[in-house]
Amino acid sequence: MSLEKVSKEGTWFIEFNTPFSYHVRGIRRVLYSGVTKYQRVAIVEFEDLGKALVLDGKIQSSLYDEFVYHESLVHPAMITHPNPRRVLILGGGEGATAREVLKHRSVEKVIMVDIDDEVVRLVKEYLPEMSQGVFDNPRFKLILQDGRKFLEESGDKYDVIILDLTDPLEGGPSYLLYTIEFYSIVRDRLSDDGIMVTQATSTSYSLRTFATIYRTVASVFPITRAYQVYMHSYDSTWGFVIGSKKYDPAILTPDEVNNRIRERISGELKFYEGDIHRAIFVLPKHIRAVLSDE
Ligand code: SAM
């Protein structure tokens, strides 16, 4: 699906969205390019986005708007839960997802399980702006293991589980973490009022994949909600799906969200607030039609 043209001599990076469309970005410099046991990794400074992490030819996040992605992934689920104390992140290599989770004063422990120790090492070295010291936070624990294997083997329960994984490409390391079987394990590892959220790819160039993730989560959880934000780094609207056992994120009013932010969050939010919470759950008609299309 995707092709990477990153070289020290090259000027342009080409990211394929589909086999028939791509976007192109100007490269200022390549800080690192290599192959780990699991994936191709590049840390690139783009002319427009600044520094970014690229895995298997796909931009994961950039300094330009990583806060939009990470605040959108973390806070709607965390704010919907009344008192999230134990949080599990699967994936999340950059450390920025953990950074947002730790802004919640109620959190006693956040465990992040990423399959690729090399990605975590490179991000610490070349992109420390993203994790902002979370790897040394006493409430944070890093486990380097396959996320699915970790959940299968551990009986621990969590209030919130956040899936910040690479896209589900056949043969890629995260492919088996987008299945009914996997979401059933996630459900079983959540407390009785627990919530999960997953990134769910583009709602424009991979709308069918987004809808498949939504329907897969909906077949396992009693409450399922989808939302999207615009991400310049992906040149696309980006989807997320929440599966919840008890609380519905879509019924919170902007005032309720703002009150919870005031009472529960320490530190600055640059994107997420009450009006944004309300707005992102409002999906256009054509997307709702695809979500309900059996
Ligand atoms: N923001 C990204 C996006 O949607 O474009 C995803 C963020 S993050 C960099 C993805 C992480 O998922 C990577 O660090 C990768 O190593 C990790 N990952 C992929 N498959 C995994 C698995 N099976 N278990 C745990 N982590 C996994």
The ipTM, to two decimals, is 0.97
Enter the tokens of residue 116: 């690729």
- Of ligand 1's atoms, which has the minimum distance to the CA of residue 201? 4
Q: Degrees (nearest 5) of the Cα angle 157, 161, 166?
A: 140
| Cα–Cα dist 210/287, whole Å | 10
Contacts of 98 (CB under 8 A, 6+ apart): 89, 92, 110, 112, 131, 134, 137, 140
Is-above-0.90 flag for pTM? yes
pLDDT, residue 108, reads: 98
Report the nearest-CA residue for atom 9 of ligand 1: 93
Enter the tokens of residue 3: 């092709």
Distance from the CA of 165 to the center of ligand 1, in angstroms? 3
* Third-level CATH fold of 66-292: Rossmann fold (3.40.50)
Phi, psi for 162 (deg, rounded to 5): -115, 125
Query: Cα dihedral sign for 33, 169, 179, 228?
Result: positive
* Ligand 1 neighbourhood includes 80 CB (under 6 angstroms): no
pLDDT, residue 10, reads: 61
pLDDT digits (tens, 9 = 90+) for 178-191: 999 999 999 999 99
pLDDT digits (tens, 9 = 90+) for 36-57: 999 999 999 999 999 999 999 9
255 catalytic residue (yes or no)? no
Which residues of the chain carry a pLDDT beneath 70? 1-10, 294
Q: State yes or no: 254 annotated in a binding site.
A: no
* Third-level CATH fold of 12-62: Spermidine Synthase; Chain: A, domain 2 (2.30.140)
pLDDT, residue 45, reads: 97
